[in-house]
A = this chain, B = another copy of it.
Amino acid sequence: NALKIAVIAGDGIGKEVMPEGLRVLRAAAERFGLDITFDEFPFSSWDYYEQHGRMLPVDWKDQIGGHDAIYFGAVGWPEKIADHVSLWGSLLLFRREFDQYVNLRPVRLMPGVPSPLAGRKPGDIDFYVVRENTEGEYSSIGGRMFEGTEREVVVQETVMSRVGVDRILRFAFELARRTPKKHLTSATKSNGIAITMPYWDERVEAMAKHYPDVKWDKYHIDILTAHFVLNPQRFNVVVASNLFGDILSDLGPACTGTIGIAPSGNINPAGDFPSLFEPVHGSAPDIAGQGIANPVGQIWAGAMMLDHLGHAQAAAAIVRAIEEVLAQKPLRTRDLGGLADTETCGAAIADAVARS
Protein backbone atom coordinates (compact mmCIF):
# COMPACT_ATOMS: atom_id res chain seq x y z
CA ASN A 1 0.00 0.00 0.00
CA ALA A 2 2.00 2.83 -1.50
CA LEU A 3 1.04 6.39 -0.60
CA LYS A 4 1.02 9.23 -3.10
CA ILE A 5 1.28 12.69 -1.55
CA ALA A 6 0.77 15.94 -3.47
CA VAL A 7 3.25 18.50 -2.19
CA ILE A 8 2.53 22.23 -2.52
CA ALA A 9 5.11 24.48 -0.86
CA GLY A 10 3.43 27.73 -1.91
CA ASP A 11 4.84 31.13 -0.94
CA GLY A 12 7.26 32.76 1.46
CA ILE A 13 8.42 30.59 4.31
CA GLY A 14 6.27 27.79 2.89
CA LYS A 15 9.21 27.15 0.54
CA GLU A 16 11.61 26.96 3.50
CA VAL A 17 9.69 24.82 5.94
CA MET A 18 8.42 22.34 3.34
CA PRO A 19 11.86 20.77 2.68
CA GLU A 20 12.14 20.11 6.42
CA GLY A 21 8.69 18.59 6.50
CA LEU A 22 9.67 16.29 3.64
CA ARG A 23 12.98 15.45 5.27
CA VAL A 24 11.19 14.26 8.39
CA LEU A 25 8.54 12.34 6.44
CA ARG A 26 11.28 10.58 4.45
CA ALA A 27 13.04 9.65 7.68
CA ALA A 28 9.76 8.28 9.05
CA ALA A 29 9.11 6.32 5.84
CA GLU A 30 12.58 4.79 6.05
CA ARG A 31 12.28 4.02 9.76
CA PHE A 32 8.80 2.51 9.57
CA GLY A 33 9.03 0.91 6.14
CA LEU A 34 6.42 3.10 4.48
CA ASP A 35 6.26 3.45 0.72
CA ILE A 36 5.56 7.14 0.06
CA THR A 37 5.87 9.04 -3.21
CA PHE A 38 5.97 12.84 -3.08
CA ASP A 39 4.80 14.74 -6.16
CA GLU A 40 5.72 18.41 -5.94
CA PHE A 41 3.50 20.99 -7.62
CA PRO A 42 4.57 24.56 -8.36
CA PHE A 43 1.12 26.08 -8.38
CA SER A 44 -0.75 27.90 -5.60
CA SER A 45 2.08 30.42 -5.34
CA TRP A 46 2.98 33.92 -6.43
CA ASP A 47 5.70 32.56 -8.78
CA TYR A 48 3.18 30.43 -10.58
CA TYR A 49 0.73 33.31 -10.77
CA GLU A 50 3.38 35.62 -12.21
CA GLN A 51 4.14 33.13 -14.99
CA HIS A 52 0.64 31.90 -15.76
CA GLY A 53 -1.69 34.68 -14.70
CA ARG A 54 -3.61 32.29 -12.46
CA MET A 55 -3.10 30.48 -9.20
CA LEU A 56 -3.89 27.00 -10.51
CA PRO A 57 -3.81 25.15 -13.83
CA VAL A 58 -7.19 24.39 -15.39
CA ASP A 59 -6.87 20.70 -14.59
CA TRP A 60 -5.74 21.12 -10.98
CA LYS A 61 -8.38 18.71 -9.75
CA ASP A 62 -7.07 15.97 -12.00
CA GLN A 63 -3.50 16.72 -11.00
CA ILE A 64 -3.97 16.50 -7.24
CA GLY A 65 -7.46 15.09 -6.69
CA GLY A 66 -6.29 11.47 -6.96
CA HIS A 67 -3.55 11.71 -4.34
CA ASP A 68 -3.92 10.21 -0.90
CA ALA A 69 -3.35 13.58 0.73
CA ILE A 70 -2.04 17.08 0.08
CA TYR A 71 0.93 18.34 2.06
CA PHE A 72 0.72 22.11 1.97
CA GLY A 73 3.10 24.91 3.02
CA ALA A 74 1.63 28.41 2.99
CA VAL A 75 0.10 30.72 0.42
CA GLY A 76 -0.37 34.47 0.09
CA TRP A 77 1.77 37.54 -0.38
CA PRO A 78 -0.45 40.58 0.17
CA GLU A 79 2.07 43.04 -1.25
CA LYS A 80 2.20 41.23 -4.57
CA ILE A 81 -1.21 39.68 -4.97
CA ALA A 82 -4.62 40.31 -3.46
CA ASP A 83 -5.77 37.78 -0.86
CA HIS A 84 -9.04 37.16 -2.67
CA VAL A 85 -7.01 35.97 -5.64
CA SER A 86 -4.29 33.99 -3.86
CA LEU A 87 -6.26 32.51 -0.94
CA TRP A 88 -9.68 32.14 -2.48
CA GLY A 89 -7.98 30.87 -5.65
CA SER A 90 -6.13 28.07 -3.88
CA LEU A 91 -6.24 27.16 -0.17
CA LEU A 92 -9.84 28.21 0.48
CA LEU A 93 -10.85 26.71 -2.88
CA PHE A 94 -9.27 23.36 -1.96
CA ARG A 95 -11.07 23.32 1.36
CA ARG A 96 -14.38 23.83 -0.35
CA GLU A 97 -13.94 21.89 -3.61
CA PHE A 98 -12.45 18.89 -1.84
CA ASP A 99 -15.13 19.22 0.85
CA GLN A 100 -12.54 19.29 3.63
CA TYR A 101 -15.19 20.29 6.08
CA VAL A 102 -13.20 19.58 9.23
CA ASN A 103 -10.32 21.79 10.22
CA LEU A 104 -8.67 19.95 13.09
CA ARG A 105 -6.11 21.86 15.10
CA PRO A 106 -4.37 20.42 18.17
CA VAL A 107 -3.33 22.95 20.79
CA ARG A 108 -0.65 21.58 23.08
CA LEU A 109 1.95 23.16 25.33
CA MET A 110 5.23 21.47 24.43
CA PRO A 111 8.33 20.99 26.58
CA GLY A 112 10.92 23.71 25.96
CA VAL A 113 8.40 26.19 24.62
CA PRO A 114 7.61 28.74 27.29
CA SER A 115 3.95 29.68 27.53
CA PRO A 116 3.15 33.38 27.74
CA LEU A 117 0.68 32.34 30.44
CA ALA A 118 2.20 32.51 33.90
CA GLY A 119 2.92 29.17 35.52
CA ARG A 120 1.54 26.89 32.80
CA LYS A 121 3.40 23.61 32.27
CA PRO A 122 3.17 20.96 29.56
CA GLY A 123 0.02 19.00 30.32
CA ASP A 124 -1.91 22.12 31.40
CA ILE A 125 -2.83 23.05 27.83
CA ASP A 126 -3.79 20.15 25.63
CA PHE A 127 -6.92 20.26 23.53
CA TYR A 128 -8.32 20.25 20.00
CA VAL A 129 -10.04 22.98 18.10
CA VAL A 130 -12.50 21.49 15.60
CA ARG A 131 -13.34 24.19 13.09
CA GLU A 132 -16.08 24.08 10.46
CA ASN A 133 -14.19 24.66 7.25
CA THR A 134 -16.55 25.19 4.31
CA GLU A 135 -19.48 27.47 5.17
CA GLY A 136 -20.62 29.84 7.93
CA GLU A 137 -19.09 33.29 7.97
CA TYR A 138 -16.76 32.51 5.04
CA SER A 139 -19.50 32.83 2.45
CA SER A 140 -19.11 34.34 -0.97
CA ILE A 141 -22.58 35.84 -0.99
CA GLY A 142 -23.09 39.55 -0.65
CA GLY A 143 -22.17 42.81 -2.29
CA ARG A 144 -22.23 46.59 -2.35
CA MET A 145 -24.88 49.12 -3.18
CA PHE A 146 -24.77 52.89 -3.72
CA GLU A 147 -21.05 52.47 -4.32
CA GLY A 148 -18.90 55.51 -3.75
CA THR A 149 -21.70 57.55 -2.20
CA GLU A 150 -22.56 58.54 1.32
CA ARG A 151 -25.26 55.89 1.52
CA GLU A 152 -22.93 53.11 0.41
CA VAL A 153 -23.81 49.84 2.09
CA VAL A 154 -22.04 46.47 2.03
CA VAL A 155 -23.62 43.21 3.08
CA GLN A 156 -22.34 39.67 3.44
CA GLU A 157 -24.27 36.57 4.37
CA THR A 158 -23.34 34.04 6.98
CA VAL A 159 -24.76 30.73 5.78
CA MET A 160 -25.25 27.67 7.98
CA SER A 161 -26.84 24.53 6.64
CA ARG A 162 -28.23 21.64 8.69
CA VAL A 163 -25.96 19.28 6.78
CA GLY A 164 -22.93 21.50 7.28
CA VAL A 165 -23.48 22.12 10.98
CA ASP A 166 -24.47 18.58 11.89
CA ARG A 167 -21.51 16.93 10.22
CA ILE A 168 -18.92 19.08 11.99
CA LEU A 169 -20.69 18.59 15.32
CA ARG A 170 -20.79 14.84 14.76
CA PHE A 171 -17.05 14.80 14.05
CA ALA A 172 -16.38 16.80 17.21
CA PHE A 173 -18.59 14.66 19.45
CA GLU A 174 -17.02 11.48 18.02
CA LEU A 175 -13.58 12.90 18.74
CA ALA A 176 -14.60 13.93 22.27
CA ARG A 177 -15.95 10.43 22.90
CA ARG A 178 -12.54 8.96 22.03
CA THR A 179 -10.63 11.25 24.42
CA PRO A 180 -10.14 10.33 28.09
CA LYS A 181 -11.95 13.44 29.32
CA LYS A 182 -14.98 12.94 27.05
CA HIS A 183 -15.68 16.65 27.21
CA LEU A 184 -16.75 19.09 24.52
CA THR A 185 -17.11 22.88 24.46
CA SER A 186 -19.15 24.69 21.83
CA ALA A 187 -18.29 28.26 20.83
CA THR A 188 -21.34 30.41 20.27
CA LYS A 189 -22.49 34.02 20.28
CA SER A 190 -26.21 33.48 20.27
CA ASN A 191 -26.84 36.52 22.47
CA GLY A 192 -25.47 38.89 19.82
CA ILE A 193 -25.50 37.06 16.47
CA ALA A 194 -29.12 36.27 17.02
CA ILE A 195 -30.15 34.33 13.92
CA THR A 196 -27.38 31.94 12.90
CA MET A 197 -25.81 31.29 16.30
CA PRO A 198 -29.02 30.23 18.09
CA TYR A 199 -29.38 27.72 15.26
CA TRP A 200 -25.87 26.45 15.97
CA ASP A 201 -26.81 26.07 19.65
CA GLU A 202 -29.97 24.14 18.75
CA ARG A 203 -28.04 21.68 16.61
CA VAL A 204 -25.45 21.20 19.36
CA GLU A 205 -28.22 20.36 21.81
CA ALA A 206 -29.79 17.93 19.34
CA MET A 207 -26.47 16.26 18.57
CA ALA A 208 -25.52 15.98 22.24
CA LYS A 209 -28.52 13.70 22.79
CA HIS A 210 -26.76 11.07 20.67
CA TYR A 211 -23.67 11.28 22.88
CA PRO A 212 -24.92 10.84 26.44
CA ASP A 213 -21.41 9.81 27.47
CA VAL A 214 -19.95 13.17 26.42
CA LYS A 215 -20.21 16.08 28.86
CA TRP A 216 -20.56 19.39 27.07
CA ASP A 217 -20.86 23.11 27.70
CA LYS A 218 -20.98 26.25 25.65
CA TYR A 219 -19.47 29.70 25.94
CA HIS A 220 -20.02 32.88 24.02
CA ILE A 221 -16.96 33.56 21.89
CA ASP A 222 -16.05 36.74 23.79
CA ILE A 223 -15.80 35.10 27.19
CA LEU A 224 -14.42 31.92 25.61
CA THR A 225 -11.33 33.79 24.43
CA ALA A 226 -11.00 35.11 28.00
CA HIS A 227 -11.11 31.55 29.37
CA PHE A 228 -8.45 30.42 26.90
CA VAL A 229 -6.13 32.80 28.73
CA LEU A 230 -7.47 32.41 32.27
CA ASN A 231 -8.46 28.71 32.34
CA PRO A 232 -6.95 26.83 29.41
CA GLN A 233 -6.99 23.58 31.38
CA ARG A 234 -10.78 23.66 31.08
CA PHE A 235 -10.77 22.60 27.41
CA ASN A 236 -10.63 19.25 25.68
CA VAL A 237 -12.47 19.44 22.34
CA VAL A 238 -13.68 22.88 21.26
CA VAL A 239 -16.05 22.96 18.29
CA ALA A 240 -16.60 26.22 16.47
CA SER A 241 -17.90 27.84 13.31
CA ASN A 242 -15.52 28.78 10.53
CA LEU A 243 -14.70 32.27 11.85
CA PHE A 244 -14.74 31.40 15.55
CA GLY A 245 -12.58 28.35 14.86
CA ASP A 246 -10.16 30.51 12.91
CA ILE A 247 -9.78 32.85 15.89
CA LEU A 248 -9.54 30.12 18.54
CA SER A 249 -6.95 28.18 16.58
CA ASP A 250 -4.59 31.15 16.52
CA LEU A 251 -5.31 32.21 20.09
CA GLY A 252 -4.90 28.66 21.43
CA PRO A 253 -1.45 28.15 19.92
CA ALA A 254 -0.43 31.65 21.06
CA CYS A 255 -1.22 30.49 24.61
CA THR A 256 1.20 27.61 24.01
CA GLY A 257 3.96 30.04 23.14
CA THR A 258 3.81 30.45 19.38
CA ILE A 259 1.68 29.77 16.37
CA GLY A 260 4.89 28.70 14.61
CA ILE A 261 4.58 25.11 15.78
CA ALA A 262 0.83 24.55 15.33
CA PRO A 263 -0.42 22.12 12.69
CA SER A 264 -3.74 21.93 10.95
CA GLY A 265 -5.58 19.14 9.16
CA ASN A 266 -8.21 20.08 6.57
CA ILE A 267 -10.03 16.80 6.56
CA ASN A 268 -12.58 15.22 4.28
CA PRO A 269 -13.77 12.41 6.54
CA ALA A 270 -15.65 10.62 3.74
CA GLY A 271 -12.40 10.27 1.84
CA ASP A 272 -13.91 11.05 -1.56
CA PHE A 273 -11.27 13.75 -1.99
CA PRO A 274 -7.82 14.13 -0.46
CA SER A 275 -7.40 15.87 2.88
CA LEU A 276 -4.88 18.70 3.21
CA PHE A 277 -2.32 19.19 5.99
CA GLU A 278 -0.60 22.50 6.62
CA PRO A 279 0.93 24.57 9.40
CA VAL A 280 -1.42 27.13 11.00
CA HIS A 281 1.04 29.95 10.29
CA GLY A 282 1.02 31.79 6.99
CA SER A 283 3.70 32.65 4.42
CA ALA A 284 5.26 35.36 6.65
CA PRO A 285 6.84 37.44 3.83
CA ASP A 286 8.59 39.58 6.47
CA ILE A 287 10.93 36.76 7.49
CA ALA A 288 11.00 34.80 4.23
CA GLY A 289 14.34 34.08 2.58
CA GLN A 290 16.37 34.22 5.78
CA GLY A 291 16.33 30.55 6.67
CA ILE A 292 15.08 31.28 10.18
CA ALA A 293 11.45 30.13 9.99
CA ASN A 294 10.32 27.57 12.53
CA PRO A 295 9.67 24.29 10.65
CA VAL A 296 7.83 22.55 13.49
CA GLY A 297 4.30 23.49 12.33
CA GLN A 298 5.03 21.99 8.93
CA ILE A 299 6.60 18.88 10.44
CA TRP A 300 3.80 18.34 12.95
CA ALA A 301 1.31 18.71 10.07
CA GLY A 302 3.18 15.84 8.40
CA ALA A 303 2.63 13.73 11.49
CA MET A 304 -1.10 14.53 11.42
CA MET A 305 -1.14 13.45 7.78
CA LEU A 306 0.47 10.09 8.53
CA ASP A 307 -1.94 9.57 11.38
CA HIS A 308 -4.87 10.35 9.10
CA LEU A 309 -3.51 7.85 6.55
CA GLY A 310 -3.44 5.08 9.15
CA HIS A 311 0.18 5.23 10.24
CA ALA A 312 -0.33 6.12 13.88
CA GLN A 313 2.99 4.69 15.01
CA ALA A 314 5.06 6.75 12.58
CA ALA A 315 2.99 9.82 13.44
CA ALA A 316 3.59 9.35 17.16
CA ALA A 317 7.32 8.95 16.55
CA ILE A 318 7.42 12.31 14.77
CA VAL A 319 5.55 14.04 17.60
CA ARG A 320 7.95 12.52 20.14
CA ALA A 321 10.91 13.67 18.02
CA ILE A 322 9.47 17.19 17.95
CA GLU A 323 9.15 17.16 21.74
CA GLU A 324 12.71 15.88 22.13
CA VAL A 325 14.15 18.56 19.87
CA LEU A 326 12.09 21.46 21.22
CA ALA A 327 13.43 20.71 24.69
CA GLN A 328 16.97 21.53 23.49
CA LYS A 329 17.87 25.18 23.10
CA PRO A 330 20.57 24.65 20.44
CA LEU A 331 18.04 22.83 18.27
CA ARG A 332 15.08 25.19 18.66
CA THR A 333 14.69 28.10 16.25
CA ARG A 334 15.27 31.67 17.39
CA ASP A 335 11.58 32.60 17.69
CA LEU A 336 11.59 30.17 20.63
CA GLY A 337 14.75 31.54 22.18
CA GLY A 338 16.83 28.83 20.50
CA LEU A 339 19.93 28.97 18.33
CA ALA A 340 19.01 26.86 15.31
CA ASP A 341 18.09 27.86 11.78
CA THR A 342 15.26 26.17 9.88
CA GLU A 343 17.41 23.40 8.48
CA THR A 344 19.23 22.55 11.72
CA CYS A 345 15.94 22.19 13.54
CA GLY A 346 14.40 20.07 10.77
CA ALA A 347 17.45 17.84 10.46
CA ALA A 348 17.49 17.28 14.22
CA ILE A 349 13.89 16.13 14.19
CA ALA A 350 14.55 13.83 11.22
CA ASP A 351 17.52 12.40 13.06
CA ALA A 352 15.45 11.80 16.19
CA VAL A 353 12.85 9.97 14.09
CA ALA A 354 15.55 7.79 12.52
CA ARG A 355 16.89 6.90 15.96
CA SER A 356 13.43 6.24 17.39
| Segment touching B, from A31-39, A146-154, A320-328 | A146-154
Per assembly, the copies of the chain total 2
With a cutoff of 8 Å between Cβ atoms, the chain B residues found around residue A162 in the complex are 149-153
Residues of B within 8 A of A253 (CB): 226
Known contacts A226-B254, A230-B116, A153 near B161 by CB under 8 Å: yes
B243 pairs with A255, CB closer than 8 A: no
A116 touches B161 (CB 8 A): no
With A118-B115, A118-B116, A138-B193 known as contacts, the answer to whether A226 contacts B259 (CB < 8 A) is yes
| One of B142, B153, B225 near A250 (C-beta < 8 A) | B225
Q: Do A191 and B83 touch across chains, with their CB atoms under 8 A apart?
A: yes
The answer to whether the Cβ of A313 comes within 8 Å of any Cβ in the partner chain is: no
Q: Is the CB of A138 within 8 A of B192?
A: yes
What residues of chain B lie closer than 8 Å to A152, measured between beta carbons? Answer: 161-162
Say if the beta carbon of A171 comes within 8 Å of chain B. no
Interface pair A246/B116, CB less than 8 Å apart? no
Residue of B nearest to A222 (CB): B250
Interface presence of A351 (CB below 8 A): no
Contacting pair A116 B243 (CB below 8 A):
no
- Per the bound structure, the CA–CA distance linking A243 and B247 in Å amounts to 12
A58 at the B interface (CB under 8 A):
no
Interface-side segment among A2-10, A12-20, A194-202: A194-202
Partner of A151, one of B92, B138, B159, B161: B161
Residues of B within 8 Å of A161, CB to CB, are: 151-154
17 more A-B residue pairs beyond the given contacts A117-B117, A144-B199, A152-B162, with a C-beta to C-beta distance below 8 A: A76-B191, A83-B190, A92-B192, A116-B117, A118-B119, A150-B162, A151-B163, A153-B160, A154-B160, A154-B196, A156-B157, A225-B225, A225-B251, A225-B254, A229-B229, A229-B254, A230-B258
The 5 A-B pairs of least Cβ separation, nearest first, read: A226-B254, A222-B250, A152-B162, A156-B195, A142-B195
Q: List 15 A-B contacts (CB under 8 A).
A: A76-B191, A83-B191, A116-B117, A144-B195, A149-B162, A155-B160, A155-B195, A156-B158, A222-B249, A222-B251, A225-B225, A225-B251, A225-B254, A227-B254, A229-B254
